Structure 1
């Protein structure tokens, strides 16, 4: 086969173009630090990348869910802690006023304070974070207790659950009927009974009310224990989810990211080869008919 100058020039240009394409690919990998810039570069890497990115996105969404879960349990625990302090003060006043040495004026002063404590307990039962009521089950838009201390009937005891792991839902709320009731009587009725007894001026029934107040305090403690147990579980799940994020990020990086040192080395070698090819091509393409006529 006859080899012409045109064939030499065409082959040289083609090889130079291939060399420039390889350099362009390596330059892109160095600048983006990714193995591929479009799916056609490596369909297998691209498909795996979609799966890994979806897994990482799920983990990140679950991590955002933990923030919502912490809002529920921490606000509920804080509210119940304040309710416990109010009930302790009511009990202290009941113990004091159940003594017959207290006169009418002193009983009225205790009654006034307990009335304020009752209003405080109503405010706690109607605690909100954002626009959501904490103690009204899934009905987060309506207050669980009226301004006079009358719980809604029937109470909403539905569980508020948040997905913190694939298919794993954790309850984050405490209903009003558990947090402010012993299952028979609500705390607002008990406190109102204390107020009524102080109005009557007797101390016999006040002593009997101590047991009911203790029951309400016990219910409060039980509710806080439940919240504490859930809080601990949420913390454990969050730590596990953080580990999953690290693993998912590492796997995605291994699939998509380039070995930077290796790519830089290959780019340097390719640049050297390309310069040599340019030098040789300049000699091949240079001759013309006039060169042969000379």
Structure 2
């Protein structure tokens, strides 16, 4: 086959274009630090990268969910702690009132007045909110557990919903938050019945014939139930912490896989860039010799 000057020139230009393209690709990799800057660079790496990136994003979302779980559980534990403090004070007052030899009727009325304030404090605690959601109202997060504006027959006289009514089943329903694939954590405390029982106990203190000696046992019983509820909340807090540790590990693993798939080895790419520049200079040098002769050169 006869090789003409135009064929040599075209081949030279094609090879130079290819060389420029390779250097451009290497330059893009050095600039971005990524092996692939468009799917056409390496479809397999690009598809794997999408999968790893989705995994990282999923883990980040689960970590945000864990933050919401901790917010609910920490607020619940704090509220129940305040109830416990109120019950401790209640026991002190009831024990003093049970001392018939040292207490006058006027003293007992003062104690009843403070007990009534403690009752109202616990009622307010029953309506604790996280953001705009009531945390002790089950799935009826828009409704307060204790509502002083509602009167019978809708609720009990003490302002708490009638939990034996099927229409109020939502007040004792679970709220679950997804924290991993197929894993949910219960974040609310179904303490509606406990708050109602505590309020009934305080209501009995207003009875003119109340036996404060027997009331000490009632207070102890409420404190035991409260401790049981707090232990359950604490167990869920520990599990949430374990899940958070697992998610942090998963984030590291997913990020490492994504980096190994996408990130370049700078030393390797720089070496390739230098080698390609040398090849390109050699091609330019040879090309200059190929296109140098002209018709005038042959006529000399």
On whether the aligned pair clears a TM of 0.5, the verdict is yes
Question: 1:272 offset after TM fit, Å?
Answer: 1.6
Aligned to 1:214: 220
Name the SS of the counterpart of 1:163 in structure 2.
Answer: strand
Q: Distance in 2 between matches of 1:152 and 1:127?
A: 16
> Which of the residues 187, 191, 199 maps onto 1:188?
199
- Per-residue CA deviation, residues 1-51 of structure 1 (Å, 9 max, x unaligned), is 222211111111111011001101111111111111121221111221122
Aligned counterparts, 1:88-237, within 5 A: 88-100=88-100, 101-147=102-148, 149-154=158-163, 155=168, 156-180=171-195, 186-194=197-205, 196-197=206-207, 200=208, 205-237=211-243
The answer (yes or no) to whether the contact 2:134–2:144 under 8 Å persists in 1 is yes
Question: 1:105 offset after TM fit, Å?
Answer: 2.2
- Are the structure 2 counterparts of residues 119 and 77 from structure 1 closer, same or farther at C-alpha, using a change threshold of 3 Å? same
Name the SS of the counterpart of 1:215 in structure 2.
Answer: helix
The answer (yes or no) to whether the contact 1:80–1:179 under 8 Å persists in 2 is no
The answer (yes or no) to whether the contact 2:126–2:145 under 8 Å persists in 1 is yes
Q: Please, which runs of 5 or more residues in structure 1 have no aligned partner?
A: none
Question: 1:176 offset after TM fit, Å?
Answer: 2.7
The answer (yes or no) to whether the contact 2:179–2:185 under 8 Å persists in 1 is yes
> Which of the residues 282, 288, 293 maps onto 2:294?
288
- Per-residue CA deviation, residues 156-194 of structure 1 (Å, 9 max, x unaligned), is 11011111110011111112335425xxxx101101211
Q: Distance in 2 between matches of 1:240 and 1:126?
A: 33
Q: Distance in 1 between matches of 2:194 and 2:248?
A: 32
Question: 1:104 offset after TM fit, Å?
Answer: 2.3
The answer (yes or no) to whether the contact 2:139–2:173 under 8 Å persists in 1 is yes
- Per-residue CA deviation, residues 207-246 of structure 1 (Å, 9 max, x unaligned), is 1112111111111100000000000011011101110110
> Which shifted more, 102-111 or 146-155?
146-155
Q: Distance in 1 between matches of 2:36 and 2:24?
A: 12
- CA RMSD, Structure 1 to Structure 2 (Å): 1.4
Runs of 4+ off more than 4 Å: none
Q: Please, which runs of 5 or more residues in structure 2 have no aligned partner?
A: 149-156
Aligned to 2:65: 65
Q: Distance in 2 between matches of 1:19 and 1:128?
A: 66
Name the SS of the counterpart of 2:146 in structure 1.
Answer: coil
- Per-residue CA deviation, residues 73-103 of structure 1 (Å, 9 max, x unaligned), is 0000000000000011011101001112211
Q: Distance in 2 between matches of 1:97 and 1:66?
A: 46
How many residue pairs match? The answer is 285
> Which shifted more, 24-33 or 284-293?
284-293
Name the SS of the counterpart of 2:177 in structure 1.
Answer: strand
Name the SS of the counterpart of 1:16 in structure 2.
Answer: helix
The answer (yes or no) to whether the contact 1:125–1:145 under 8 Å persists in 2 is yes
- Per-residue CA deviation, residues 130-178 of structure 1 (Å, 9 max, x unaligned), is 1000101111000011238421122511011111110011111112335
Name the SS of the counterpart of 1:35 in structure 2.
Answer: coil
Q: Distance in 2 between matches of 1:179 and 1:70?
A: 22
The answer (yes or no) to whether the contact 2:145–2:192 under 8 Å persists in 1 is no
The answer (yes or no) to whether the contact 1:161–1:169 under 8 Å persists in 2 is yes
